[in-house]
Amino acid sequence: MKTFHIHIKGIVQGVGFRPYVYQLCRAQNLKGWVNNTTDGVHIHINATLEKATQILNKLVANAPVLSHITNTAIKETAFVNYTTFTIINSESSQQPTLLLTPDFAICKNCSAELFSESDKRFQYPFITCTHCGPRYSITKKMPYDRENTTMDIFTMCPSCNTEYEDPLDRRYFSQTNSCPHCAIELSLIENGKTQYNFTDLDYVVSQWNKGKIIAIKGIGGYLVTCDATNEEVIERLRKLKNRPSKPFALMYHDIYELAEDVEMDIGEKLELESAGAPIVLLALKKDRMTPIAIEAIAPKLNLLGVMLPYTPLYKLLLEKFKKPIVATSGNISNATIIYQDDRLEELQHIADSILSNNRQIVTPQDDSVVRYGSIKSYRTIIRRSRGLAPSYLNTELELSNNTVLAMGALLKSTFTLLAHQNIHISQYLGSTDTLEAQENYQNTLTHFENLFHPDIEVILVDKHPDYFATVLGKEMAQKRNVKVIEIQHHKAHFFAVLGENNLLHTHEKILGVIWDGTGLGDDGNIWGGEFFTFQRGKTARVHSLEEFPFILGDKMAKEPRISALVMTSGVIDATALKEKFSKTEWNIYQKMMATGALKSTSIGRLFDAAASIILGIDIQTYEGEAAMQLESAAYRYFRANNFTRYYSYLKEEKLPENFIHFLFENIQQDIHKGFQPDFIAAKFHISLAHYIAIIAKREGVQKVAFSGGVFQNQWLIELIRSFMDDDFDLYFHKELSPNDENISFGQLMYYIYNKD
């Protein structure tokens, strides 16, 4: 008999791993111990090598469903004659090398107990166990133990403590364990007064029924809620949030009610009911059963962002209300979600009442957003945050031993930390063009440094000198006297999709289609419609959309009419274009285009121009509004024609001399012929997919990878797959969003591959 040490790394804390090890080893009559440390789970057992290996294999094969194992090791150690198998206290003396555990939605067992009158936690709004509840959002330091979370101020009652100390109980070492006798307490803030120890959830429901707006503290921050069937209160909420038309997410009380309003396949159902419990974008049914005020909720769109109650509090409230609610981030439009109780005064300008609680949130998170294809059920992450962030698992990647911080981009920002060969990608941090968002970015980065104490050796930044993350990264590098490396925006996108799909060491030539709104190019112009190749370590820009004048900076992204002007001037009849501008604007903009303005190749602006010409959308009130409405128009056409009739403006397997001019000349001809906007929008999308296929054939590649915010467009991806699936191997993002959230990860991949 010998003593063996088993070491398991990954997401193995806060998921019931130690009780699982304890029960397995006790069942096998093994002696030894298991504990958590800052670098994973450690097990010592008395056994033969064959038996120890067998136990390790069983641990991996049947690991708890919420765990993710990235690495295991087994070795003989000094013999100790153990007499029993125990769980010993966690150790935290070493530098943390763990992956963080995301927050989890309420599990089925806790849901059942929540509504069981015989259970001690009947209708207790903060019921949890080792299989569900907050993790990342309440963690102050590592390892994940109660004293290292914001649960440290709550003392368990004798009953809860018994559960906590029983290795055979579902709540053994459940760090969020509590019950009505040792409760996390609700409070209601209304008319400037606070009711502590608030328990009357029926009152909250009555306020919804009266058309009131209620802010509710959740896992990652406050959600602002109201009755989704009441158009008047939704319009009032829009004014208060300064959100004229951006769609709101809805929360339904169960999957059956939801199925009455949206089309949903098994993949989408499983996503909604998963531990991550994200918002899922689903197509509306023509004949909806629930009288939701759809035009107030998602104006001119065919998709609805929906989620199920992921906390026990939401479950209790929705079960009583029996109708869907609007559930949107607690903030003014484009600001960071409010999560600190000392900022409740800001919420009082939006909400009639605030339902809070005394469990502190350490770091804020918006709800994650996921989308599935309608024809081929692929998954696209639109926003990676609560329930999905911050860890990233890909055991096939070859990672550097350096500690590296990648700062990301400006919009949809994230940062990525590589430490001890673990990748940590922050949750979505918003657009860092406001002071508040910049503070949130810095606070989250500071939190990561407090968790991992990384000795950062290299900092990676975007090439754009004015991005907040670039400026901050360079300041940090100077203070710490470490190396800073600039990486071009679209190359970071390309390396993000290459890295995620484990293509960095493929010898075949790979075509990268990188389409987005803006990013500073190597030539000083604004790129966004790029085609790169990658082969044997060399990256080349082989094609792009034709250049057009880039004028007026951020104003151009907010006003699709400007994109229409710069792309179609001299190509289509100017009469209709002139109607979109005042005489003064027209004259000034003409001069700006003629005086050697910056150039752009942005596909994002191409979508804006098309939306302006086809749908008459000249001003957009939120990022991507014009493109989303153009996609909705295309979807209406495809749906009306049973997804079978596909027409492209490109008739041959070669490109016209100027694709932009060719495209808009043909669009104008279709408008003059009286074709419906939905048909023209569909034809625009089909032509872009055809365009990519032509370039791929011209480059003679088998593998094509896609990244950039444009590829959040479901119908563009559907059409690309229709045109190219039979002839090419296609690679999209799987666990990361195609938008700028992946830039920080791409910067890291670029550095790792090119550092030598």
Domain contains 636: yes
CATH number at residue 288: 3.90.870.10
Residues 166 and 199 in one domain: no
- 583 and 493 together in one domain: no
Rounded Cα distance between 34 and 86, Å, is 7
**Nearest C-alpha neighbor of 191 from the set 331, 342, 351:** 351
Provide the 8-state DSSP code for 367.
Answer: B
Q: Are residues 292 and 208 in the same domain?
A: yes
Would 646 be classed as within a structural domain? yes
Cα-based angle 475, 480, 484 (whole degrees, multiple of 5): 60
CATH code: domain of residue 441? 3.30.420.360
Domain annotation covers residue 557: yes
**The model's pTM:** 0.92
Check which CATH number belongs to the domain holding 560 and give it: 3.30.420.40
Nearest to 414 by CA among 369, 334, 464, 469: 469
Q: Distance between CA 685 and CA 630 in Å, rounded?
A: 9
Kindly indicate the confidence band of residue 287, based on its pLDDT and cuts at 50, 70 and 90: confident
Domain annotation covers residue 505: no
Please write down the long-range contacts of 252-257, taking CB distance under 8 Å and 24 or more positions apart: 252/306, 252/307, 252/308, 252/318, 252/324, 253/308, 253/309, 253/315, 253/318, 253/319, 253/321, 253/322, 253/323, 253/324, 254/308, 254/318, 255/308, 257/290, 257/322, 257/324
- What digits encode the pLDDT tens for the residues 67-107? 888 889 999 999 999 999 988 876 655 666 678 899 999 99
Q: Summarize pLDDT for 97-156 with one digit per residue, the tens.
A: 678 899 999 999 999 999 999 999 999 999 999 999 999 999 999 888 899 999 999 999
As a whole number, mean pLDDT of residues 697-721 equals: 96
Q: Which of 53, 87, 121 is the last residue of a domain?
A: 87
- DSSP secondary structure letters along 573-642: -HHHHHTTS-HHHHHHHHHHHHS--EEE--HHHHHHHHHHHHH-----SSTTHHHHHHHHHHHHHHHHTT
CB atoms within 10 A of CB 5: 16
Sole residue written with tokens 């008047």: 232
Measure Cα distances from 531 to 603, 629, 660, 692 in Å: 12, 26, 16, 9
Mean pLDDT for the stretch of residues 350-374: 95
Please give the residue range of the domain that contains residue 22.
Answer: 2-87
Other Cβ atoms closer than 10 A to 7: 16
Residue 78: phi and psi, rounded to 5, are -60, 135
Q: Which two tokens stand for residue 8?
A: 């398991």
Q: Specify whether 252 is located in the same domain as 235.
A: yes
Convert 36-70 to b/e letters by CB count within 10 Å (16 or more is b).
bbbbbbbbbbbbeeebbeebbeebeeebbebbbbb
- Token look-up 């989620």 returns 307
pLDDT at 756: 62
Same domain flag for 641 and 693? yes
Contact in structure between 623 and 670 (CB atoms under 8 Å): no
Say if 508 falls within a structural domain: no
Residue 363 is assigned to a structural domain of this protein? yes
Alpha-carbon distance 172 to 163, whole Å?
6
Which amino acid is it at 420?
H
Which of 22-26, 362-366, 497-501 has the weakest average pLDDT? 22-26
What whole-number distance in Å separates Cα of residue 178 and Cα of residue 648?
60
* CA separation, residue 656 to residues 48, 232, 648, 651 (Å): 71, 50, 13, 10
Residues 748 and 611 in one domain: no
Confidence of residue 432 (pLDDT cuts 50, 70, 90): very high
Distance CA 431, CA 336 (A): 9
At residue 615, does pLDDT exceed 70? yes
Handedness of CA 405, 276, 144, 89 (dihedral sign): negative
Looking at residue 46, which CATH number applies to its domain? 3.30.70.100
Same domain for 366 and 254: yes
Q: State the first-to-last Cα distance of the chain, in angstroms, to the nearest integer.
A: 47
What pLDDT was estimated at residue 95? 66
Q: Are 557 and 623 in contact (CB under 8 A)?
A: yes
Q: Would you say the C-alpha torsion 698, 703, 706, 707 has a positive or negative sign? A: negative
